[in-house]
Amino acid sequence: MFDHPHRRFNPLIEEWVLVSPQRSKRPWKGALETPQIINLPKYDKNCYLCPGNKRINGDKNPTYESTYVFNNDHQAIESETPDYQENGNPFFKTQSVKGKCKVVCFSPRHDQTLGSMTAKNIQKVITVWQKELQELGKQYPWVQIFENKGDIMGCSNTHPHSQIWASSTIPTEIQKESKSQKEYLKNNKSQLLLDYVHQELNLKTRVVAKNSDWAVVVPYWAVWPFETMILPTKKLHRLEDVNDSQIKSLAKIIKTLLTKYDHMFNASFPYSMGWHFAPYTKENPDHWQLHAHYYPPLLRSKTIKKHLVGYEMLAEAQRDITPESAAEKLREL
C-alpha cells in the first residue's frame, strides 16, 4: 500500500501528512536552487564569527581555539521587552516575550561544519550546549537549541554555528509535543517516543543508524524528504541528563548522520535542526523524552528543493517519497 497515496498520523503533534509516492516520478521543469558555497577558507577576515575578528557591534572575538559562545548581536528575543496589557479582545491577543539569544560557533575554522568535525570535537559542542541549558534553564522555561545550515535555509553567516534562544513562554510546537506525550503516558503508563523508537528498531525499515544509546530514524510521519530524528534508546528527559558515555555515542551518531547527508547529493547538505526536551517548569517531566529533529529541504538533487506550498499550506503536509525509501537511501550511504 505504500506505493499509493495514503495518510500517516503524527502522534507527537497530532497532525496528519499525505504521502504521494507517484509525485516523485514527475518530470521537473521548475526552478533550481543555487548550491551553497562549499570551498570556504579556513579563516575569513570579513567574517563576524571568525577568531580575532570584529563583530558587527564592534566587539572583538577572542582568538578562540575550540567551541565559542557569545550573546547574539541581533537579539530576536530581548530580556527588557516591556509587558503588554491584555485588552480582552479575542481577535487581537498579544503576549510579551522576554528572553536571551546566543550564538555557538562550533570551531574556529570557517570551513568546518559540524559533520566535518571529529566525533571528539562534536562532544565539546554537546557539552557546551549542556552548560548553556543549565544556566538559561534557571531563568527561562524554554531554551531552544537549533542550527540553520546552508544559505537556502536562511543562514546569514557561512561560519558553521548553532543558536540558542531562551524565552519566557513555551512555544507552540513544544506545547503540542508536551500535550501528546502527557496523554500517552497517562493512557499507556510509558513514554510515547521511547515506545516508538523501540518499535522502529524492531521493524528496521526506517532506521538509518543506531548504536547502544541512540537511533536515527526517518519518522513514519515525516514531512520533509530526508527528515530524521535522533532518539535515545533509554529514558532521558533533557540534554543535560546525557552522561559522558552517552555524549560520546551521541557525537558518533551525529557524525554518522551528517556524513550520510553530505554524501546524499555530494554536497554540503542544508538543514534546520533542533533539540526538544522537557521545559524548565515545575511540572513533572516524566512524560517527556529527549529528541532532535532534522529537516533537510533537498528532494532529488542538490539543486531541487522541496517547498511547502499549495496543498501543504492550505490543507495538510504532503511528501513525495515514502519514509521507507528515504531511510533506505540514507542507510546505504
Catalytic residues: 161
- The answer to whether residues 292 and 273 touch, using CB atoms and an 8 Å cutoff, is yes
Is the dihedral angle over the CA atoms 181, 182, 185, 191 positive or is it negative?
A: positive
Per DSSP, what are the bridge partners of residue 16? 9
Per DSSP, what are the bridge partners of residue 209? 216
Cα(198)–Cα(188) distance, integer angstroms:
15
Give start and end residues of each alpha helix (H) in the chain: 119-136, 172-188, 192-203, 244-264, 311-314, 323-332
For the sheet containing 99-105, what is the strand order?
68-71, 99-105, 161-167, 142-149, 271-276, 291-295, 228-232, 214-217, 207-210
Query: What is the DSSP code string of 144-171?
Result: EEEEEESGGGT-S--S-EEEEEEESS--
Cell of 147: 542550527
- The answer to whether residues 20 and 317 touch, using CB atoms and an 8 Å cutoff, is no
Cα(201)–Cα(217) distance, integer angstroms:
9
Query: H or E element: which one contains 215?
Result: strand 214-217
Cell of 135: 544556566
Smallest CA-to-CA distance from 75 within 57, 92, 51 is with: 57
